[in-house]
Amino acid sequence: METVYNMSEFTDLSLENNRRAAELLFRLNHTSPFSDEYKTLLKKLFGENIGENSLIMPPIQMVCPEKFKLGRNVLINGNLLAMSMGGIIIGDDVQIAGNVQILTNNHDPYNRELLTCAPVTVKKGAWIGAGASLLPGVTVGKHAIVGACAVVTKDVPDFAVVVGNPAKIVKTLDGDKFPD
């Protein structure tokens, strides 16, 4: 479901939340990722929206971390760019390689003050390759693989392997080989 936001109408509270998130991200990006301080900063940034045993390696660039939800046992490598205004849901046991972009918003081509946003969902056990881009409104299916540098412009079915720009299915994995 697409939502439109007018950036000229953002409230002082939303601007303050963005400032707070930027400061937390700066601190997080300059803290050892295996330290207790790092875990505390992750909790401050995501609240209850981060599952047990999940790790995001710095650096992280993000807007609206309150709209970013991580399941359990998720590993996200460094240089994640998450434009989360439309909402991002990452399921359990997902692996995301370095330099991945998850983009839930875009600007209206005629009025750049308007943001058109649609959620991105990555389902259980999916693997997103290095440098991939997930665009607004897509769902990556259960145990699907998105190849390195792929640009995902439409939904990826469960167990599909996609590559390229735009991403296209090149293979379907045997769903019976997965434990769940």
Residues belonging to the active site = 107
Residue 14 C-alpha from the chain's centroid = 20
Type of residue numbered 164:
G
Cα separation, 105 vs 83, in Å, equals: 7
Cβ–Cβ contacts within 10 Å for residue 36, how many? 9
Contact 147, 117 (CB under 8 A): no
Query: CA 56 from chain center: how many Å?
Result: 11
